Chain A
Amino acid sequence: MLQASSRLLSLSSVDLAIIVLYFIAVLGIGFYLKRYTKTGEDFFLAGREMTAWVAGLSFLAANLGSLELMGWAGAAYQYGILAAHWYWVGAIPAMLLLATVMIPFYYISKTHSVPGYLKLRFGEPARALSAFSFGFMTVLMSGINMYAMAVVLQVVLGWDIYFSIWVSSITVAVYVGLGGLLSAIFNEVLQFVLIWLGALLVSIIGLVEAGGWNGMVARIHANYPGQNFTHLWSTMGSFKDNPMGIHWVAIVFGLGVFISMGYWTTDFLVVQRVIAAKDLRSAKLAPIIGSAFKMCVPFIVILPGLLGLAFLPKGFLVAENATSVLHPFKYDYVLPIMMARYFGPGLLGLGITALIAGFMSGMAGNVSAFSTVWTYDIYRAIFRKNAGDAHYVSVGRWCTILGVLVSIGTAYLVMSFKSIMDYVQALFSFFIAPLFGTVLLGMMWKRTTPAGGFWGLLAGTTSSIGMFLWVKHDPTALRYIALSPNAKDMAENMFRALWSGLICVTVTVVVSLLTKPKPESELTGLVYGCTPIPSEGDMPVYKRPIFWAGVVAAVFVAIQIIFW
């Protein structure tokens, strides 16, 4: 039986050199790009000059934060391959919807942000509600990511938690503050490459040890008889049949429709990367390129979790809230622990760099999006409407530092009150599902009115908060929210998103039908039917975004069948 110790690994000088070189590289890129970041368009939208590949990789990297990498590897150790739903049905359809349907409206309207689109379509109240909730939640999530990474580095490597927090966040503040979104995007592409090269080898060596996929599945079945960790859909017919305690209705409609489409099509953290593309075709291709890579991410995140089930002794990793002197390692540590199992000197440095890069790309994404929304949608809209461009760039730089400091403050707060993590993550979900309903109706239905958009968004958000508080106050209420006494926590999140999204859509439709719509002349560039979309008719089929979206969709369906 493995002995537990307070520190699992020690790094060699080569490992440390690799990590130090990484910090020098990202800071160097930030200093280099400062000379190219002079106007607001440069700082907040990277000059709208990104190629499809750079925008697409950055679009995905901004999402690959430390919770995404280590948290979902841990979820795979806990729930098996079901965790891959968050990468497949919980991402791919939404990314393709963004590329093929929604991007033209974001791009043609020339908005700086998602709250900015809401202002153009629904007016100032909808923008204010969205901007404040997004700005507030973004920096809080950034702090939680920071805390999650620092804890893993402390337990696995013995690094001081405060050292990890301050060094990594100051680095992000410097390179985003200097080069704005341009620097964030360039570094995200670098970080994306490092994440893949650092984590991919765990899966390759793991499959060699297991003797391939079938060998790994056989070992998992031997370790956990009677439990099904390796099928994606076949156990979803009943809440009782799968380790997640969830039903396919929740996964398809709660996750696949409202949460996923809410996140990937309206969260400005990711949308900002796409609207920085150099033209409409690149903006459409960027999420398609991102979706192709997103489909592959389970190979570096979910597979290490499954390998942990196959090779780590039962009980070696425990739940987040479990405390044991013998077993101090939580589910979320499975990725660095599998790195420790397979990596020697040098490779271990690359693996740890991949984890740090994941954290920093996520944090830079949060901070750059926060800086844009705060400057354009709060500061300029409310406090100072007609200042010069240089003034707003200066405010953006200060907001970057402010965002990092608030994130650090959140990380300190979480250290003292760990339950804050649950609340903040739940808070984030309160806004996402209803916002999707509001934006989609706004883009697709001319009849949607400003009052309908605002009240629908407010009703969806408050109903989501109400359901959350109801279950917190009375846990048996879960059976009503999730429609089954056998439902578990994860099912609650999915069903809550489903109901709040439906409430938002219903209220928006009803209020819109009772109020006066905007004249069509004010909807040009914002709504389907009022916006001339540039034709791609003269382009060869293989160059059209819709063709590649079809290819990705076909591969997505094939994967679902293979792992059914």
Chain B
Amino acid sequence: MHRPGMISIWFFIGALLLIYGLLICGAGIYEAVTPPTAASIAEANLRWEGVRNLHAGIWWGGLLIILGAIYTIKFAPRKGN
């Protein structure tokens, strides 16, 4: 889609991923430094014990930050674009 003045969809996607990355990475760091909160029996039994050691929130959030930043910068609306 190339219309004069129209912001690229990839910019919207990049911006959302960047914000999501910050939130998820932040939540992952918080989860890593604080003890787990009490969960319902079903939830506790369902979860895989080993998942806490993977720190998935931190690196997945980090990946979203990198992807989001690249797309936000590359497709940012500019004058004359």
The reply to whether B41 and A5 contact each other, CB–CB distance below 8 Å, is yes
Give the bracket for the number of chain B residues in contact with chain A.
35 or more
Q: CB-CB < 8 A to B27: which residues of A?
A: 12, 14, 344-347
Q: Which residue of B lies closest to A193 (CB)?
A: B13
The reply to whether B48 and A341 contact each other, CB–CB distance below 8 Å, is yes
Task: Tell me which of B26, B31, B41 contacts A3 (CB under 8 A).
Answer: B41
The reply to whether A347 and B24 contact each other, CB–CB distance below 8 Å, is yes
Render A42-82 as a binary contact track against B, CB cut-off 8 A, 1 for contact. 00001101110010000000000000000000000000000
The reply to whether A2 and B23 contact each other, CB–CB distance below 8 Å, is no
Q: CB-CB < 8 A to B1: which residues of A?
A: 46-47, 49-51, 54, 182, 186
Q: CB-CB < 8 A to A205: which residues of B?
A: 48, 51, 54, 56
Tally chain A residues at the interface, Cβ within 8 Å. Answer: 48
Main secondary structure of the interface of B (DSSP, over half): helix
The reply to whether B3 and A36 contact each other, CB–CB distance below 8 Å, is yes
A317–B46 CA distance with the chains assembled, in angstroms: 13
- B67 smallest CB distance to A (angstroms): 8
The reply to whether A340 and B13 contact each other, CB–CB distance below 8 Å, is no
Asked if B70 is at the interface of the complex by the 8 Å CB criterion, the answer is no
In the complex, chain A residues 170-224 whose Cβ is within 8 Å of any chain B Cβ: 182, 186, 189-190, 193-194, 197, 201, 205, 208-209
The reply to whether B56 and A347 contact each other, CB–CB distance below 8 Å, is yes
Q: CB-CB < 8 A to A25: which residues of B?
A: 12, 16
Task: Tell me which of B9, B13, B48, B57 contacts A209 (CB under 8 A).
Answer: B48
- B4 smallest CB distance to A (angstroms): 10
In the complex, chain B residues 1-32 whose Cβ is within 8 Å of any chain A Cβ: 1-3, 6-7, 9, 12-13, 16-17, 19-20, 23-28, 30-31
The reply to whether B23 and A18 contact each other, CB–CB distance below 8 Å, is yes
Q: Which residue of A lies closest to B6 (CB)?
A: A36
- B2 smallest CB distance to A (angstroms): 7
Render B25-66 as a binary contact track against A, CB cut-off 8 A, 1 for contact. 111101100000000111101111011101011001100100
A343–B24 CA distance with the chains assembled, in angstroms: 11
Q: CB-CB < 8 A to A2: which residues of B?
A: 42, 45-46
Q: CB-CB < 8 A to A17: which residues of B?
A: 23
A346–B9 CA distance with the chains assembled, in angstroms: 24
Asked if A257 is at the interface of the complex by the 8 Å CB criterion, the answer is no
Q: CB-CB < 8 A to B43: which residues of A?
A: 8-10, 340
Q: CB-CB < 8 A to A54: which residues of B?
A: 1, 9
Interface-central residue, B20, B26, B52, by most chain A CB under 10 Å: B20
Q: Which residue of B lies closest to A15 (CB)?
A: B27
The reply to whether A189 and B13 contact each other, CB–CB distance below 8 Å, is yes
The reply to whether B17 and A197 contact each other, CB–CB distance below 8 Å, is yes
A9–B31 CA distance with the chains assembled, in angstroms: 17
A208–B17 CA distance with the chains assembled, in angstroms: 25
Q: A8-B43, A49-B1, A197-B64 are in contact. Are A346 and B28 (CB under 8 A)?
A: yes
A140–B46 CA distance with the chains assembled, in angstroms: 35
A340–B42 CA distance with the chains assembled, in angstroms: 10
The reply to whether A340 and B46 contact each other, CB–CB distance below 8 Å, is yes
Asked if A350 is at the interface of the complex by the 8 Å CB criterion, the answer is yes
The reply to whether A344 and B42 contact each other, CB–CB distance below 8 Å, is no
A4–B24 CA distance with the chains assembled, in angstroms: 28
Q: CB-CB < 8 A to B24: which residues of A?
A: 14, 18, 346-347, 349-350
- Can you list 7 A-B contacts (CB < 8 A)? A8-B40, A47-B1, A50-B1, A342-B48, A345-B30, A345-B57, A346-B26
Instruction: Give 9 nearest A-B pairs by CB, closest first.
Output: A346-B27, A346-B24, A345-B27, A14-B27, A5-B42, A186-B9, A2-B45, A3-B41, A344-B31
